[in-house]
Amino acid sequence: VVTAFEMEVIPAERIVAQIGDTLVLTCNATGCASPSFSWRTQMDNPLGGKVSHHRTYSTLTMNPVSSVNSHEYLCTVICDEKKKKEKSVKVELYSFPSDPIIEISPSLVAGKPATVICKIPDVYPSSHLEVVLMKDKHILHETNFYADDSTNTETKIVTYSFHPTVEDIGKVISCVARLPIANMDFEPKERTSSQKLNANFGPQNTIITASPDNSPMEGGSLNLTCVTQSNPPPKIVWRKYLAEESIQHLIKNDVLSIPHVRFNDSGQYICEVINVVTNKTEKATVDIIIQGAPVITKLSIEPSTTVQEGENVSIQCSAESNPPPKIFLRRKSDNAGIRPYSARSILLPSVTFRNGGDYECVAENKFGNSKSEITLNVKYGPKNTVITVIPTAAVKEGETVTMKCTSSGNPAPVISWKKKLVTGESVKISENATLTIQELKSEDLGLYECEAYNQYGKEEKAVKLYVQGLLEKADQMIPFIIAFSSVAAVAVPAAAILIYVSRQAKINGSYSLVKALRLKV
């Protein structure tokens, strides 16, 4: 069976190709042992491709397809140099290779103008291009390029300016590009790109919230939270105004936490919010007042807790609380019903030993009270030195006399006894406060001196033992001894005078008690 000479072009008659792709046209011959092939374009334009002949077919490869390939291609086959057949195929081109590119310039800042840029890359023919800009489902802008006469691929750009708001954050900007060409079968004919709006704004509406409140109790917790509206999230710095108007820098978190507040945590706190993108700063302040029972912060004695008699002394008490405390400062040994010398201080000019002792500071308010004590130690030389003679009545020769010396001072005085010799020289005879003379005899008569001494001074007192008279008994004279304080050092105690004057005894001697006292005064 003889096969008739035939030919075909694949694809047949019409093909739609995208610029940049690869297109292969195939020309087949049947019923011919040695066909010859040729390709040309209508109007004999350049082929814009590579021809490859094979025994029964020929190919024209366009790699890549470009705008010069928009022609009607004709394949001619000659069989045995006699028979000739031709067929054509029309190549129609388009270019719509990728989705639009959305750019927003500059970075969105709420309230400031911004431009949305939509780029549609390498489109052809642009005279069919339609572009729609949308915010969520709302159309912002529509345009087309029907008037374009471009003969090659071009990137088309659509711009739209608007003022973003805080409410726009999270909404979607979409660029929808369509290339509807009648009678051209290709997909997709619509491409879409979207970008979520992230408008930068703030900081704004910055406030500070305090938990539990602005007046927490001393010892409790306090959390200050800085609340603001800002995008991107801001940098937060806490500060506190100090009394001298300088600023103390604290932490850099949105929450300032103080687990156990003290009274000195009271003050004005500042939250400073900084958006580094919008380059804006906003501040908020809150006044915190710590409440609670008083805490005594200072109880002091100036110049020192240990002073010398005669110095000027100041006792100070300070306490803190809210509400402010009432402060009472007093010496504990004073009458409990007596109110303090002063609310916060006691001034003791030329302090005396009587001012020494424990002082108490009491601070109170409606939440409670606090107490503290301090001791004032007044150093002073010996005072009130007293000699006591036992027995207090006259004694006889051979009996025992005890003389006791007492004195006050701080530190406690050291007491010693001396006896004055007939030469006028004094000799130390004892370093005890009590001097006892047993079996009293005539050589024990004389002047005895008691000396009380410490580093702040000394004080001396004296007593004299002498014969006052002779006592008649059984026709013999018995020596009679009497003791009394020598007025050269101190006045005679009234009690001793009364004792001697009131004694009922028969006295014979050279002078009486009254004369003796008068002589010594």
Q: What is the pLDDT along the chain (521 residues), one digit of tens a residue?
A: 568 999 999 998 889 999 999 999 999 999 998 999 999 998 888 999 999 999 999 999 999 999 899 999 999 999 988 899 999 999 999 999 999 999 987 677 777 888 999 999 999 999 999 999 999 989 999 999 999 988 899 999 999 998 888 888 889 999 999 999 988 888 999 999 999 888 788 899 999 999 999 999 999 999 999 999 998 889 999 988 876 666 677 777 889 999 999 988 999 999 999 998 888 999 999 999 999 999 999 999 999 999 999 999 999 999 989 999 999 999 988 865 555 455 789 999 999 999 999 999 999 999 999 999 999 999 999 999 999 998 876 777 888 999 999 999 999 999 999 999 888 888 999 999 999 999 888 888 889 999 999 999 999 999 988 777 655 554 544 455 554 544 333 333 322 322 232 222 222 222 222 323 322 22
In a domain? residue 18: yes
Helix, strand, coil percentages for the chain (3-state, nearest 5) = 5, 55, 35
Say yes or no: 105 and 193 in one domain.
yes
In a domain? residue 479: no
Say yes or no: 459 and 449 in one domain.
yes
Q: Which residues pair with 376 in a beta bridge?
A: 357
Pairwise CA distance, residues 10 & 59, whole Å? 9
Parent domain of 398: 381-465
Say yes or no: 123 and 212 in one domain.
no
Q: What pLDDT does 143 receive?
A: 96
In a domain? residue 172: yes
Say yes or no: 255 and 167 in one domain.
no
Q: How many CB atoms lie within 10 A of CB 242?
A: 12
Pairwise CA distance, residues 437 & 458, whole Å? 25
- The amino acid occupying position 490 is V
Edge-to-edge strands of the sheet including 101-105? 101-105, 114-123, 154-162
Say yes or no: 115 and 195 in one domain.
yes
- Between helices 513-520 and 494-502, what is the axis angle to 10°? 150
DSSP assignment, residue 489?
T
In a domain? residue 271: yes
| Chain-centroid distance, C-alpha 434 | 68
Pairwise CA distance, residues 273 & 87, whole Å? 77
In a domain? residue 217: yes
Say yes or no: 373 and 385 in one domain.
no
Choose one of 244, 261, 288: the last residue of a domain: 288
Q: How many CB atoms lie within 10 A of CB 455?
A: 12
Say yes or no: 252 and 303 in one domain.
no
In a domain? residue 501: no
Choose one of 288, 316, 346: the last residue of a domain: 288
Q: How many CB atoms lie within 10 A of CB 240?
A: 17
Say yes or no: 369 and 385 in one domain.
no
Half-sphere exposure of 137 (CA within 13 A, CB side): 0
- The amino acid occupying position 313 is V
Query: For every residue of 357-406, which 3-state class applies, written as one string?
Result: EEEEEEEEECCEEEEEEEEEEEEEEEEEEEEEEECCCCEECCCCEEEEEE
Pairwise CA distance, residues 219 & 40, whole Å? 98
Say yes or no: 11 and 68 in one domain.
yes
pTM score > 0.85 for this model?
no
Q: What pLDDT does 79 receive?
A: 93
In a domain? residue 370: yes
Choose one of 262, 288, 314: the last residue of a domain: 288
CATH number for 447: 2.60.40.10
Cα distances from 387 to residues 416, 419, 449, 501, in angstroms, run 12, 14, 9, 20
43: left (phi over 0), alpha (psi -120 to 50) or beta: left
Pairwise CA distance, residues 400 & 396, whole Å? 9
| Chain-centroid distance, C-alpha 192 | 52
Q: What pLDDT does 108 receive?
A: 75
Say yes or no: 167 and 188 in one domain.
yes
Q: How many domains does the chain have?
A: 5
In a domain? residue 1: no
The residue assigned the tokens 């687990």 is: 259
DSSP assignment, residue 86?
E
482 phi, psi to nearest 5 deg: -135, 145
Say yes or no: 257 and 280 in one domain.
yes
Q: What pLDDT does 395 receive?
A: 76
Q: What pLDDT does 333 receive?
A: 85
Pairwise CA distance, residues 270 & 415, whole Å? 69
Say yes or no: 268 and 341 in one domain.
no
